[in-house]
Structure formats: structure tokens, C-alpha cells
Structure 1
Amino acid sequence: MEAEPGSDEDFEMVFFPGDMNAPGVSGSIAKSAMFRPGSSGTLPYFACDDCDVELSRVEAAGGKVVRGKMSIGEYGFCGICIDTEGNTIGLHSMK
């Protein structure tokens, strides 16, 4: 999946397209003066090949690792970080 950039006068957005005729999730990440970053709202998880690899890139990019890679049993592994704007993000992988 590749994000598609887009924006208008009120939002900077990156869209994650989906197949409207198939199950799944799509959406966007938006930046706007109307929204404030935070850690007390929804926690989105992004799928990746190995969340440990992605977590190893966080601090060099200006973010912070909150919870390193942990097993979630038969559901794989996850980790949690805070991005450069202060949003909490989860990463998920099967290995």
C-alpha cells in the first residue's frame, strides 16, 4: 500500500487508499490547525514486516519509543512510539 498525498486550504493529508469492493481499512492522516496532537485518543496501528526494524528508526527521526517490540501471542508483535508531532502510534508485524 502506498499513501497518496493531498491537501486543501484547511488540511495537509496523506490518504491510504482501499478497495471499496473488498473488506479492509483505508483512511488518512491529517494535519490541521483544528487538531492537536495527543496521546489520549485513538491509537492507530500500522502494519509492517518487522516492527523491531521500524522502531529502531524512530529516535533518529525525532520520535520516541514508548514500548519496544512485544509479543501478542498468535497475533504477532507490536510496539508503540510517539511521532515528532506528539501523536502515539502503534506498529504491528507477524515476525
Structure 2
Amino acid sequence: MLKGQMGASGALVKMADGPSGGNAVLVYFSCADCAVEAARAASAGGHLIREKMSIGPYGFIALIRDTEGNMIGLHSMQ
């Protein structure tokens, strides 16, 4: 997808020792700065699972667990 166009993009990534089936799919949401959004989620009752970390040329990710127990990924380029 090109920047500025509407729609959803995605990727499949295999995690070492990751579970299969059941609750094994992790959805990532794009944001301006994943550290900022992770902090917002934590302050709203969610839990920070993995602080902002670099994924090289692909930007940064953070992982949170929402108030219902769902793990969610956040992705940003900065």
C-alpha cells in the first residue's frame, strides 16, 4: 500500500517457539510512535508486555495486553 492511501496492509512473521492455532495471531496497529500509544494503553488499564523495540529498517514495535486480555501489537516508523 502506498503512503496516504486508504486500506490495510499486513505481513506474516514466524516467531521462534511461537504457538500455533488458537490465539496465535497477533494484530498490529500503525501509529506515529508506538511508545506513546503503549503508554496510553497502560494508563487506560491495559498492560505493557514489551516496550518499544527496534525491528531494524522496518521501524519499531511494542506489545500490549488490553483490558480483556488480548495481546495487540503497535508499529511505528519512529
TM-score by length of 2: 0.71
Match of 2:30 in 1: 47
Structure 2, unpaired ranges of 5+:
10-21
Q: Which runs of structure 2 are paired with 1:15-94 in the superposition (5 Å)?
A: 24-25=7-8, 40-94=23-77
Instruction: Tell me how far 1:41 sits from its aligned partner.
Output: 2.4
Deviating beyond 3 angstroms after TM superposition, the runs of 4 or more aligned structure 1 residues are none
Identity of aligned residues (%): 55
- Larger RCO of the pair (alpha carbons < 8 Å, separation 6+): 2
Q: What's the TM-score, normalizing by structure 1? A: 0.59
Larger Rg: 1
1:13 is matched with none
Uncovered stretches (5+) of structure 1, i.e. residues with no partner: 1-17, 27-38
Aligned Cα root-mean-square deviation (Å): 2.1
One-letter amino acid of the counterpart of residue 74, structure 2: L
